[in-house]
Structure formats: C-alpha cells, structure tokens
C-alpha cells in the first residue's frame, strides 16, 4: 500500500457519507491532507486528538476524519476548544477556522485565546472571502477586490491574521499557502508540537467565488498566484518594505515561550489548597 493510501485508511471516516462538500479544486482539501500527515508525523494517538471547527467551508473539515470531532457555531470554535482543553489538558486540541470564522465573528475570541495562551492549535484557512455563504467580503478581503457584497470594489483595509496573532501574544505563528504544501506539512507539525497557543495561517483559494468574480481564473491559476506572491521569511528579511507590498511572508513568523494558562492555573490550584475554607 502506498503512503497516501495508508493514511486515507487510517484517518478518514469510511462510514461518513462521502462525497465531501467542497468544490473540486478547493484548497481546503489540500489542507486536510496536510493536517493528516502532520498529525501522523507527530505520532499522536487518534483518541487523544480533538479536532474543533466553526462554521464555513473550512468548518466542514473535521467531520471527515476519525478523531474526536466537534463542529461548533460560527466564530466560537476557540471558546469551545478552551473548555475542552482546560477540562482535559492531556487532549491535543486542534482548531480549524475560516478567515471570517477566526477574525470577523470570532475575532474577539481569537485575540483573547492568543493572549491567554491556552495550549490550542489554531489553523486558519484564509481564502479572503466567505466561501460557504457565496463569496461575500471578509476581514481579509484586499482593498479594491470585488465580492458579492462589494460588487463595485472593496473599500476596507484587510487584517493580516498572522501579525494579529503575534501582537495578541501567540506563542507560535507561521504562514504557508496550500501551494507550498511541504512547508505547510512542516509548519503544522511544528505548531502541533509547540507548547502554547499556536497559529498557522493557511493562504488558500476560493476559485468558485473570489477567483471567478475577480477574474483570476481557475484553481490552478490561483495556486500559481500563491507561488508568485509568497516570500519565504529569510528572503523577506533582506527585502525592503516597499518590495513586500502586495506580497506576503511565509514560514515561521514567531516562536517564543510563555507559560500556558494551564501551567499557571496549576499554580493557582496549589495556592488555593493552602487556604482553608472561608
């Protein structure tokens, strides 16, 4: 059996009603493969992995894989995950979200999860649009782009998700695209093995909505766009600010150590036990 077949057998849910919901060529499928390879590479047991998601095309990912899986409400996945992790810290809690999920409706939870540093792994699929609801603009839609709710042109400036995670206090932050799939495998694995709140931003494409309305072309054209606009972090360091406009940096953007919420709370428990009943 080939490596891919083995992984499919081991991790996909064969009693789930396939086919999946995604459009042919969507980047979320590439991420699913990468996620499975990374988890397998980390050597986690299936029983100890909890895969949590919000709502959106990205939110549909967990149902296909044989872990403890939780498909929550739009934007709230990190808050649900916080409860799971604190109630059972031995679990590996991985959260997949769309860009709207993570930084629009869930933006408040996102920055606070980063600040709080609960040991959660956040994987954000940034396709610059609301895929599931039909291509409306999201907080990461670029200025000037067309979407179904900015039919003339988009007038807001986009969030940079990774940079937002860094200033909010995340322990580990990295970015890849679904084109750079080897890098994506590696970054996910590093994030999963890192202690503390870790974010991997995955630049992806929604060719059926965003690609179509902006006349970028097919899924392949959008993958080529990713290849041409991504700058590896080492190379970016040697480049000038203005050379980086309209580009984005891929690789590990932040890697630092803070005590986790769980570790700090253990100290609280120890101290609390010293005090007698009041």
Interaction site with ligand TPP (CB under 6 A) = 55-58, 74, 98-101, 125, 127, 129-133, 138
Closest CA to 7 of 89, 74, 65: 65
Q: Which stretch binds other proteins (CB under 8 A): 107-115, 124-132, 235-243, 247-255?
A: 107-115
Tokens of 217: 């072309």
Q: Quote the CA–CA distance of 258 and 255 in Å, as a whole number.
A: 10
In the complex, least distance from residue 244 CB atom to other proteins, rounded to whole angstroms: 32
Backbone angles phi, psi at 177, to 5 degrees: -120, 170
Choose which of 59, 75, 98, 106 interacts with Mg ion (CB under 5 A): 98
Closest CA to 103 of 163, 44, 38: 163
What kind and span of H or E run contains 255? strand 248-255
Tokens of 56: 């959106």
The per-type count for the chain, helices as H runs and strands as E runs, is 11, 10
Choose which of 48, 221, 228, 257 interacts with other proteins (CB under 8 A): 48
Q: Are 95 and 120 in contact (CB under 8 A)?
A: yes
Q: Quote the CA–CA distance of 12 and 22 in Å, as a whole number.
A: 16
Choose which of 1, 14, 19, 90 interacts with other proteins (CB under 8 A): 90
147 scored as a contact of Mg ion (CB under 5 A): no
Tokens of 229: 């606009």
What is the torsional sign of CA 262, 263, 266, 271?
A: negative
In the complex, least distance from residue 29 CB atom to ligand SF4, rounded to whole angstroms: 8
172-177 and 248-255 strand pairing? antiparallel
Q: Which stretch binds Mg ion (CB under 5 A): 64-72, 91-99, 195-203, 249-257?
A: 91-99
* Identity of the residue, 72 or 168, whose beta carbon is nearer to ligand TPP in the bound complex: 72
Binding to ligand SF4 by CB under 6 A, coded x per residue (else -) over 204-223, reads --xxxx--------------
133 scored as a contact of other proteins (CB under 8 A): no
Interacting residue ranges for other proteins, rule: CB under 8 A: 13, 15-17, 46-48, 50, 52, 62-63, 66-73, 76, 79-88, 90-91, 108-109, 112, 261, 265, 268-269, 271-273, 275, 278
Residues that bind Mg ion (CB under 5 A): 98-99, 127, 131
Q: Which residues bind ligand SF4 (CB under 6 A)?
A: 22-23, 26, 28, 57, 127, 131-132, 206-209
């Amino acid at each position: 059996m080939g490596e891919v077949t083995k992984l499919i057998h081991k991790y996909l849910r064969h009693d789930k009603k396939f086919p999946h919901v995604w459009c042919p060529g969507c980047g979320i499928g590439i991420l699913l493969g990468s996620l499975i390879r990374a988890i397998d590479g980390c050597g986690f047991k299936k029983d100890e992995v909890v895969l949590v998601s919000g709502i959106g095309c990205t939110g549909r990912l967990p149902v296909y894989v044989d872990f403890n899986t939780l498909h929550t409400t739009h934007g709230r996945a990190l808050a649900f995950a916080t409860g799971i992790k604190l109630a059972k810290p031995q679990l590996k809690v991985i959260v997949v979200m769309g860009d709207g999920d993570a930084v629009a409706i869930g933006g408040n939870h996102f920055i606070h999860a980063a600040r709080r540093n609960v040991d959660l792994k956040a994987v954000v699929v940034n396709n610059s649009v609301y895929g599931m609801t039909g291509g409306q603009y999201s907080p990461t839609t670029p200025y000037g782009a067309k979407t179904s709710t900015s039919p003339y042109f988009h007038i807001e400036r986009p969030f940079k998700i990774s940079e937002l995670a860094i200033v909010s206090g995340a322990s580990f932050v990295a970015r890849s695209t679904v084109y750079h799939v080897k890098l994506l495998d590696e970054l996910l694995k590093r994030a999963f093995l890192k202690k503390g709140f870790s974010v991997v931003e995955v630049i992806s494409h929604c060719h059926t909505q965003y690609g179509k309305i902006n006349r970028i072309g097919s899924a392949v054209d959008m993958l080529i766009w990713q290849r041409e606009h991504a700058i590896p972090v080492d190379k970016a360091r040697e480049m000038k600010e203005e050379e980086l406009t309209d580009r984005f940096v891929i690789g590990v953007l932040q890697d630092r150590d803070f005590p986790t919420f769980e570790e700090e709370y253990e100290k609280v428990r120890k101290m609390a036990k010293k005090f007698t009943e009041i």
